[in-house]
């Protein structure tokens, strides 16, 4: 139902979580498992996810450290 409202001539504005889900699904379809891991992180924006994917390779310690750091920064922004 939500997908039908976002296509065609409807002037429906989807909620923020729908737009975030669409962006995350596009990223996952391009980058696969690593993008899925980042998409499951709390409050990490899509632009930051792209940066992490571009600057790291594989699923090593650096990859996960960058995700945790991005989550910390997102929490700082939320409470400040």
Written as tens digits, the pLDDT of the chain (80 aa) is 566 666 666 667 888 888 889 999 999 999 999 999 999 998 898 899 999 999 999 999 999 999 999 999 999 988 88
According to the model, what pLDDT value does residue 68 have?
Answer: 96
**Tokens describing residue 80:** 């400040």
pTM for the whole thing? 0.75
Q: Are 78 and 44 in contact (CB under 8 A)?
A: no
Q: For the chain, how far is it from start to end, CA to CA, in angstroms? A: 37
């Amino acid at each position: 139902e939500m997908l039908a409202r976002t296509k065609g001539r409807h002037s429906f504005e989807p909620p923020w979580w729908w737009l975030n889900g669409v962006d995350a699904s596009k990223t996952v379809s391009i980058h696969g498992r690593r993008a899925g891991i980042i998409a499951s992180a709390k409050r990490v924006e899509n632009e930051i996810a792209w940066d992490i994917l571009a600057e790291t390779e594989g699923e090593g310690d650096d990859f996960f450290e960058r995700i945790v750091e991005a989550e910390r920064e997102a929490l700082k922004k939320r409470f400040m």
